[in-house]
Chains A and B, each alone.
Chain A
Amino acid sequence: MKSMRTLYYSMLGLLGGLFSWALIQSGFHVFDALSTTGFVGMDTAWLNNFIYEGALIGLGLGMILQARASLWYHHDLVLILSKMFFGALTGTIIGLFCFGFGHVLQTWQLSPILSRLTSWILLGLFIVGTTELFHYHSGLLWPRIISGGIGGVIGGGIFELLLLYQMSGPEHLYGLILAGFSIPLLIGLKENRVTSSALRVLTGKQEGQIFLLDQNKFTLGYGSKNDFILKGYAEVCDLHAHIFKKDEQVFIENTDAGSEVLVNYRLVDQQQSMKKGDVIKIGTALLQYYEI
């Protein structure tokens, strides 16, 4: 299940790379058309400038990275689209910034390869960093960001190598795809190392879904801000329960007086540690905790 998810994320990253490549390609035509119609200040210099490409790469990758968990857990389309939009927006800004910084380095007469690599690393770090901003309680902030950076290094390195050897055909496509592939792969590998347990939904509309416990803290409930969303169940609150890891043990805690969490059909008073095979009842939803 864990490796399945990593593969899924990497596939999504690959698609993100392809997406940004298509964007760049179509962007050229759009700018071309604009310059021929005599739009003020528009000429081919605009699109030959790297920053736009950086922005488009950031757009594609940011969009995918932000929405990857929602896609994996099959959330609502509206939620995914809003996340994608937000990710694309932040990714664009980050892409502008990172590749702009790379350009600054280049004007500082740093070798182009090094400056480009720097911008890739920064892109990896910042894009993962911003996606983590919305999971600030995850407790896995730095490992994830660093793995994003390493993914950026690998992706950017491959990109550079492909450019260096003047690969025939669409070398930028391969480079972008590999860069997009490696960033989520690295994050996924990092997440896999810390994942040792999972929750499986036993009943109802989300039957068979598995929530992998790969962070240190989670929220569970009906609302769309939660890490794990339980939809289609009666008596589930907006923010129903907290799950957190402490000393190799996983605890569950109900959030307020209105929500009831039952572990093995016994009401959780404050917080309760969970054992392998425990059945958790949240509203009408039945979940099982198990270790992988």
Chain B
Amino acid sequence: MFSQTDRCLRACANSVGLFFLGVLNSTSLLAAEALAAGDVLKKEISPPSFADFLFPETYFLKIAENPLLNLVEALLVFVVVLLVIYVLWYLRKPKLSASSGPGFKLLNLNEQCPFIPLKAEVQTLEFLAKIQTSKKYRLSANLNRVILTPHQNTFLLEDKNYKNALLINRRRSHRTILCDNDVLDVGEMILLYCNNDVPDGKIQHQTRVDLQLPITGVIPKGPVKKGTPILTIAGIQQEIPLVRNLNTLGTSSSNDVIVVSNEVSLRHAKIYRVGQSWKIQNLLTHETTLVNGRRIEQRFLQDGDEIAIGDIFFKFRISKAQMKQVRKLKTTTVKNSVKT
């Protein structure tokens, strides 16, 4: 029993102490000898040497007893394995499509992303119905009314029939200049427009307002009702109706109101509806938003307040009159009633 625990202890010391052997060679040797000296029973059988203590004669795997390879061969296997790993890594390199010129890529699942080159002769999107796909996709029957016209190395897409389920960058659009990496939803098909020659941003969007103005981008459209706030930029007679309940202001193109200025950050402030009133909130701690000359974090807006974001000044007012769009609707209904 005692010898068994002794052997166990020795093995423990063996397994734990081995790792630190290189560093603590002398100390572990001393400790080992002290341990061995304390064991009287063992001493009687055989005086243990240091090597015996650390390496009992129980072979575990016996792998190295009879090596199959000599050193050079082993090193060769070693290098070959590393090379194979390198090849496996290299094989996983993403393959870049070397296609040039405008074209579409099919993004639907299980499609092999074949590149569909777009020739300059193509006038409509009708050709999509003829593409060989693994699955039949439902497409609108009026695709011949979606007109493609060449425009500055790329294409201008016009939807003459508003009933086509056509989304560009997941938004409804009737007239768009296609840019590189635009996503088109045509019926059930998802297409990616590729144009390696003309990278995104090189084409000036027609829909954009003159870039000289501090406010660019698509100004949100919608019915301007009574109570809809309107931002007017100081100096320029440009009116921005805030038709959404939450409007963000900043330089990033994902904002509702895109402000071009060096003093304005990506998402600078937001103006949102709280009940019947409107509130402005500064979104960044290190940027300032001023209302009537005072730095604020958030504040309810009154009609006629002056808002300063960076170096751009706005006048906030709440529209009192119904705008033309609504009036137009009214006239059409009147006409309809006359007809009937």
Contacts and interface: CB of A to CB of B under 8 A. Distances in A.
A28 B96 contact: no
B190 interface: yes
A197 to B, nearest CB: 11
A75 B58 CA distance: 44
B127 to A, nearest CB: 22
Given A71-B85, A207-B94, A264-B170, A100 B16 contact: yes
| Secondary structure call for the A interface | helix
B109 A102 contact: no
A53 B69 CA distance: 16
- Is the interface on chain A under 10, 10 to 19, 20 to 34, or 35 or more residues? 35 or more
A53 B65 CA distance: 12
Contacts of B46: none
Interface stretch (A132-140, A181-189, A245-253, A284-292): A284-292
Interface stretch (A14-22, A123-131, A145-153, A217-225): A14-22
B61 A97 contact: no
Contact of A53 (B60, B252, B283): B60
Contacts of B192: 202-203, 286
Contact of A19 (B19, B78, B93, B181): B78
Interface string A186-227: 000000000000000111011111000000000000000000
Interface in B16-37: 16, 18-19
A47 B19 contact: no
Interface in B67-103: 67-71, 73-75, 77-78, 81-82, 84-85, 88-89, 92-97
Interface string A105-117: 0111100100010
Interface in B168-192: 169-171, 181, 183, 190, 192
A172 interface: yes
Contacts of A78: none
A277 interface: yes
A167 interface: no
A274 interface: no
Contact of A267 (B69, B70, B96, B254): B254
A29 B63 CA distance: 12
A12 interface: yes
Contacts, number: 180
A259 B11 CA distance: 55
Interface in A270-287: 276-277, 279, 284, 286
A22 B74 contact: yes
Given A53-B64, A265-B170, A277-B190, A101 B77 contact: no
A27 B94 contact: no
Interface residues of B, number: 66
A106 B89 contact: no
Given A202-B181, A288-B107, A25 B67 contact: yes
Nearest to A75: B89
Contacts of A170: 68
Given A11-B88, A15-B81, A290 B65 contact: no
B285 to A, nearest CB: 9
Contacts of A207: 94-97
22 contacts: A11-B88, A15-B88, A22-B78, A22-B81, A25-B64, A25-B69, A25-B77, A26-B71, A50-B60, A51-B18, A54-B60, A100-B14, A104-B11, A202-B107, A202-B192, A205-B96, A206-B94, A265-B169, A267-B248, A277-B107, A284-B181, A288-B107
Interface of A: 8, 11-12, 15, 18-19, 21-31, 41, 43, 45-51, 53-54, 64, 71-74, 77, 80, 93, 96-97, 99-104, 106-109, 112, 116, 170, 172-173, 201-203, 205-209, 257-258, 260, 262, 264-267, 276-277, 279, 284, 286, 288, 290
